[in-house]
Amino acid sequence: MDVSLIIKATLVLSGMGLVLGALLAVASNFFAVEIDPRVERILEVLPGLNCGACGYAGCEGAAEGIAKEEAPITACTAGGHEVTEQVAVILGKEVEAKGVPPKAQARCGGGRGKVALRYIYDGEVSCHMAQQVACGPLLCPYGCLGFGDCVEVCPLGAITIGEDHLPRIDWERCRGCGLCVETCLRNIIALVPETSQVDVFCSSPEKGKAVRSVCEVGCIACKSCEKVCEFDAIKVENNLAVIDYDKCTGCGKCVEKCPTKCLVAYPKKDTKS
C-alpha cells in the first residue's frame, strides 16, 4: 500500500474542501442580500400554511408584502386577529378595533335522501366536474353537490364530507380565510360570525313550491320565522330567510316553528350538520 497516495488523496480532498468553503464564504459576503429583518420576523408569526388567501403565493410573499406596506397588516385572514396584533407590534402600528373572526358555514341541508336526484353521478369526485354533466345530479340547482371541492381547498383540513354528502366544517379549526367561499361553485358557503347561534340551511331563492318539489328541507319562504321572532332578527328576502346575527339572541323560537326544519340552532362553537 502506497502511503503517499493516501496522504496525497487526503490533502487534495481537504484542500478542495477548504478552497470551495472559502469561495462560498467570500461569495456569501460579496453577494449578501440585504433582507429586511422585519420580513423574517413577520414570517415567523404568520401561520405558515401557504394557503394563498391573502393573494400572495405563500406566507413568504405575504411577509414581504406586509413589510413593504403593499399589503395591510390584516392581510392574513387565516391567522386572524392574533397574527394581526403580532404583525402590528413588529411594524410598530396600531391595531384597529378587534373584529370577531368569521367562520365558514355551508348553507345547505339537502343531503342525499333529502333532495331529489336527476341521475346518479359516478364520475370524477369533484363538484366542478359534476356540474359539467347536465348541471349536476341534484334537481335543486342551488343545493350542495357534496363532492368536496371545499375539502380540497381548505388549508386547515377543517372540512369533511359526511355520509349525507354535506360538508361539515370544524369551527375549532376554521379561521375564516374564505378560500372555500370562493371555491364553492354554488355559493353555498358563507362566512358567519363565530357568535351566531342559528342559521338557515338553504340557499335556494326559488319560490316555496319549486323548492318543496325538489327538497324536503329547503326554505319555502313561508315567513313563519319572521312572524315568530321577537327581536326582528329574521327576515325573508328573495324567498330566503336571512338572519341578522347582531339581533339574534339564539332563543330558538324560529327553529321550533320552521316547517321544513331548514332553520337549525347549534350550540356555540359546535360543528353542525
Partner 1 sequence: MGRYFLLFLAAFLINNILLIRFIALCPFFGVSSKVETSIGMSMAVIFVMAMATMVCWLVWNFLLIPLKLGEFLYIPAFILIIAALVQFVEIVIRKVSPALFRAMGIYLPLITTNCAVLAAATESVKPGFFKLNIQYGYAIPEALVYTLGVAVGFTLAIVMFAAIRERMEVAPIPGPLKGYPSAFIMAGLASLAFMGFAGLFGL
Nearer to partner 1, 64 or 226 (CB): 64
Min dist. Cβ of residue 27 to partner 1 (A): 5
Closest residue by Cα to residue 233 from 264, 225, 164, 131: 225
Q: Tell which positions 126-165 bind partner 1, by CB under 8 A.
A: 129
The residue range among 85-93, 123-131, 145-153, 260-268 that interacts with partner 1, by the rule CB under 8 A, is 123-131
The residue range among 10-18, 163-171, 236-244, 257-265 that interacts with partner 1, by the rule CB under 8 A, is 10-18
Instruction: Tell me if 7 contacts partner 1 by CB under 8 A.
Output: no
Distance CA 204, CA 71 (A): 36
Which residues, at least 6 apart from 219, have a Cβ–Cβ distance to it below 8 Å?
A: 200, 202, 204, 211, 239, 240, 241, 260, 262
Q: Is 116 helix (H, G, I), strand (E, B) or coil?
A: coil
Provide the β-strand partners of residue 235. Answer: 242
Instruction: Tell me if 120 contacts partner 1 by CB under 8 A.
Output: no
With CB under 8 A as the rule, give the number of residues binding partner 1: 19
Nearer to partner 1, 9 or 242 (CB): 9
Instruction: Tell me if 3 contacts partner 1 by CB under 8 A.
Output: no
Nearer to partner 1, 28 or 213 (CB): 28
Set of cell numbers at residue 142: 342551488
Closest residue by Cα to residue 144 from 242, 68, 39, 218: 218
Tell which one of 7, 24, 89, 135 touches partner 1 (CB under 8 A): 24
Longest dimension (CA), the chain: 101
Instruction: Tell me if 16 contacts partner 1 by CB under 8 A.
Output: yes
The torsion angles phi and psi of 15, rounded to 5 degrees, stand at -60, -45
Tell which one of 3, 5, 97, 120 touches partner 1 (CB under 8 A): 5
Q: Tell which positions 33-72 bind partner 1, by CB under 8 A.
A: 33
Q: Is 104 helix (H, G, I), strand (E, B) or coil?
A: strand
Q: Could you give the angle at the alpha carbon of 181 between the alpha carbons of 71 and 54, nearest 5°?
A: 15
Nearer to partner 1, 39 or 220 (CB): 39
Tell which one of 27, 89, 100, 242 touches partner 1 (CB under 8 A): 27
Instruction: Tell me if 12 contacts partner 1 by CB under 8 A.
Output: yes
Tell which one of 7, 17, 89, 172 touches partner 1 (CB under 8 A): 17
Q: Could you give the angle at the alpha carbon of 270 between the alpha carbons of 167 and 238, nearest 5°?
A: 60
Closest residue by Cα to residue 85 from 103, 68, 100, 73: 73
Q: Could you give the angle at the alpha carbon of 175 between the alpha carbons of 249 and 99, nearest 5°?
A: 55
Q: Tell which positions 200-229 bind partner 1, by CB under 8 A.
A: none
Contact positions vs partner 1 (CB under 8 A): 5, 8-9, 12-13, 16-17, 20-21, 23-24, 27-28, 31-33, 123-124, 129
